[in-house]
Structure 1
Amino acid sequence: MRKYFITGLLILVPLAITAWVLNLVVSTMDQSLLIVPERWQPRTLIGFDIPGLGTMLTVLIVFVTGLLTNNLVGNYVVKLWERLLQRIPVVSSLYGSVKQVSDTLFSSSGNAFRKAVLVPYPHQNSWTIAFLTGTPGGDVKNHLVGDYVSVYVPTTPNPTSGFFLMMARQDVVELDMSVDAALKYIVSMGVVAPDAPPANEAASK
Structure 2
Amino acid sequence: LVIVAPAALTIYIIWTAIGIIDSWVLPLIPDRYIELYSPEAYLGFDIRGIGLIIFLIFTLLVGYFMKGFIGRTTLKWGERLIDRTPVVRTVYNGLKHIAETVINQSSQSFEKACLIEYPRKGIWAIAFIARPAKGEIMHKYHGEDRLMGLFVPTTPNPTSGFFLMVPETDVHVLDMTIEDAVKLVISAGLVYPTHYQPEDHSSNHQTSG
TM-score scaled to structure 1, two decimals?
A: 0.74
Where do 1:55-70 residues align within 5 Å?
Answer: 55-70=52-67
Where do 1:190-205 residues align within 5 Å?
Answer: 190-196=189-195
Equivalent position of 1:84 in the other structure? 81
Equivalent position of 2:200 in the other structure? none
Unpaired runs of at least 5, structure 2: 197-209
Where do 1:1-205 residues align within 5 Å?
Answer: 9-30=1-22, 31-41=24-34, 45=38, 46=41, 48-107=45-104, 110-111=107-108, 113-120=109-116, 121-136=118-133, 139-145=136-142, 146-196=145-195
Q: In the aligned structure 1, how far is the partner of 2:155 from the partner of 2:141? A: 29
TM-score scaled to structure 2, two decimals?
A: 0.73
Change (3 A) 1:167 1:69: farther
Q: In the aligned structure 2, how far is the partner of 1:167 from the partner of 1:52? A: 47
Q: In the aligned structure 2, how far is the partner of 1:195 from the partner of 1:18? A: 24
Larger Rg: 2
* Structure 1 residue 92: Cα displacement: 0.5
For residues 67-97 of structure 1, the C-alpha deviation after alignment (integer angstroms, 9 at most, x for no partner) is 3323443222222211111111111012112
**Alignment root-mean-square deviation, CA:** 2.9
Secondary structure in structure 1 of the residue aligned to 2:96 = helix
Q: In the aligned structure 2, how far is the partner of 1:159 from the partner of 1:73? A: 41
Q: In the aligned structure 2, how far is the partner of 1:180 from the partner of 1:62? A: 31
> CA contact under 8 A between 2:133 and 2:146: conserved in structure 1?
no
Kindly provide the amino acid, as one letter, of the partner of residue 9 in structure 2.
Answer: I
For residues 168-205 of structure 1, the C-alpha deviation after alignment (integer angstroms, 9 at most, x for no partner) is 233334445554443332211122223449xxxxxxxx
Q: In the aligned structure 2, how far is the partner of 1:82 from the partner of 1:190? A: 46
